[in-house]
Amino acid sequence: MFCTKCGNKAPEGSRFCRTCGNAIEQQAQTPQEQAPQEQAPQPQAPQAQAPQPQLLQPPQPQPPQKEGKKSFSGLLLSAVAVVFFCMGIGAYFVLTMLSGNPTETVHLADTSSANSDSEDIGDEPYLLDEEPSADNEEYYIGEEPLFSVENPVTQEETDVNGDNPTAIENSLLFPTPSDEPAPTPNLRESADPIVINLYSFTDELPRMAALYAEMNPDFAARYIINPTIIPTDGGAYQAYLDWALRDGNVDLFAVEASFALKYTQGDMSDFAMPYSNLGISNLMPRIAAADIAQYTVDIGTRNRDVVGLAYQQTGGALIYRRSLARQVWGTDDPTAILLKLTLGWNRFLEAAAELDAHGISITPGIGDVWQAVRNTGGPWIVNNRIDIHPDRMEMFDIAKELYQNDWTNDSPTWSGAWFAAMAGDSWDEERPVFSYLGPAWLINYVMASNAGETFGDWAITVPPVGFIWGGTWVIPASNMNPQAMEGVRELIEWITLDTSTSGLQHHWAAGTLFDSQGTKDTVASFAVMARTDGRIPFLGGQDMFDIFSLAGLYVNGTVFTQYDEQINDWFFNDAVMPYARGDMTRNEAIEHFLLLTENNLGIR
């Protein structure tokens, strides 16, 4: 199953996405482990006057087609042509037949299930350097773009292991047939209104674009938003996006923090257009006036040109239980807890020992701590070699102390026990949990709806290190349709730079973007958060913007690489945890990690 917010695959039985925490609609839970029910109502997207997003599946290799037999009508036509030729007019007739319009051919995305004859891709990521075959091409019938939505067709969606097919609805796009012959050449030419082809891994950016069109009738009269939503699982989104970018079929696209560098500074960065080329004037002064989080600018900058900006700020905080803090230290004041826990990891471990003496675990699991450590220090790759920064090397000691002293409940992130601890519940006689480490979305979309009786018993303070978890950057395609450029500029300015009360940044922070009673969230603009009331009931009335603004300042945007997603996973799961459990020595764990990077990335 896939998350509709971030597009990532979630394990069977999960009620929430492992990447962003969004609630996932699913079948009945297994009796062994029921994830808590999502209770918060989801905001409804406005009705958009545009084609519906497609949920596309990864391209599958096509089996070779057998050569068919010639039909009787074909043989008869050939015989007639020969007769006419012999009568002296055959040449004219044959040439006339050959000069006619060819029959149009429909090319659609492959919708074969795991049970098809096509090759099973298994757990391997999609090869991003190969374009899908012509048989997999979608969106076009003949030479005309497909823009209207008709005839939903049920297809089989299969997870990356190929063993869990589930039916989904996939809207295929077909135009109304025209009596006029298809215009030749430029497939990117479109009649008024102009189509803006938008690629995203969640419905978030498409909903924002639809809302802007609803708020601005003049824009809606000139442009149609044509969104394509593809899950990130197994590299599917990147595979389709790369192909579409190379084919010139993208005008605007979204990237997530884990692979943003690939498109802003890495292998695919040539397809990112600088914002200044869109005609956005005074870009740097406007970024400064909005006080946009510097790490979001750093990640979205290539050779001093801004090619992407984020609309949210995902710096993390320490999220802790007030009642447990009072029980152990006699206070729940955020400044006091900061001094007690978050002035470095040594102080954090000392606090873990104190909490343990009262029968309290400092976090649900060691993975919660890794969320903070993983993007600190420096980049993983320096001069084309793996560099394990001392800040990450420290994770060996942190994990060993936490594991061997049982200072956590050893609950994996996104597990049932991990959710249950939010409500103060215990599984298998586990102890109450003092804190989580995460950004505002973890509070808003995960913890608030699962806190139960602990709702309002939480507070936040500055974490031991600055870190981010998630985030979305908005990038214009360098080879976009020139006719769409003005519309793309309008969308980008409203989403990332407009700090007025009508801009997305204000509505997102105030919780009024899609609903007047929506959820307040952290945005990229510190200027907007500074003037917006960030008090929320979950935190007992604490203003979350005070802490999350500081958290965003502590993040270093120059420590990221385009391979962080894979490298972080290998380092924690295949090196740190085996060492913490005593299965490997530190040197063995490091050597195992370096072999993984060498064998998979060619870097050691």
Question: What is the rounded CA–CA span in Å between residue 511 and residue 516?
Answer: 7
Q: Are residues 487 and 589 in the same domain?
A: no
Pair 283, 367 in one domain: no
Claim to verify: residue 282 and residue 347 sit in the same structural domain? no
170 assigned to some structural domain? yes
Task: Specify the pLDDT at position 314.
Answer: 95
Range of the structural domain that residue 369 is part of: 317-467+536-601
Same domain, 247 and 325: no
Give a yes or no: residue 366 inside a domain.
yes
523 in any annotated domain: no
Residue 442 lies in a domain: yes
> What is the pLDDT at residue 427?
66
CA angle 38, 40, 44 (to 5 degrees): 115
Only one residue has tokens 């891709």, namely 121
Together in a domain, 132 and 227 = yes
- Does residue 517 lie within any of the structural domains? no
Contact indicator for 401, 349 with CB cutoff of 8 Å: yes
Domain match, 174 and 306 both: yes
Q: What is the pLDDT of residue 76?
A: 39
DSSP 576: I
| CB proximity list for 304: less than 8 A, separation 6 or greater | none
Please indicate, yes or no, whether residues 401 and 308 belong to a single structural domain of this protein: no
506 strand-pairing partners: none
Domain count, the chain: 2
- Shared domain check, 440 and 297: no
- Please name which of 211, 308, 243 lies closest in space to residue 269, comparing C-alpha atoms: 308
Q: Helix, strand, or coil here: 313? A: coil
Compute how many other C-beta atoms are within 10 angstroms of the C-beta atom of residue 383: 5
pTM for the predicted model, two decimal places? 0.70
User: 326 and 309, same structural domain?
Assistant: no
Q: In this structure, are residues 294 and 514 in contact, taking their beta carbons and an 8 Å threshold?
A: no
Per-residue model confidence (pLDDT) at position 426: 67
Q: Which amino acid is located at 349 in the chain?
A: L
User: What is the mean pLDDT, run by run of 10 residues, along the chain of 604 residues?
Assistant: 61 58 50 40 40 46 38 40 39 36 32 33 37 36 32 32 31 33 39 90 95 96 96 92 97 96 96 96 96 96 96 96 97 96 93 97 96 92 95 96 96 93 78 96 95 96 93 97 97 98 96 86 96 96 95 88 92 97 97 97 94
**Residue 340 belongs to a domain:** yes
In terms of domains, do 353 and 455 share one?
A: yes
- Cα 543 to chain centroid, rounded: 27
Query: In terms of domains, do 277 and 208 share one?
Result: yes
The CATH number given to whatever domain includes residue 491 is 3.40.190.10
- Locate the DSSP E strands across 14-64: 54-55
Q: 231 and 333: one domain?
A: no
**Is residue 196, in this structure, part of any structural domain at all?**
yes
For 62-92, the pLDDT digits (tens) are 433 433 333 444 433 344 343 333 444 333 3
Whether residue 119 is contained in a domain is answered as: yes
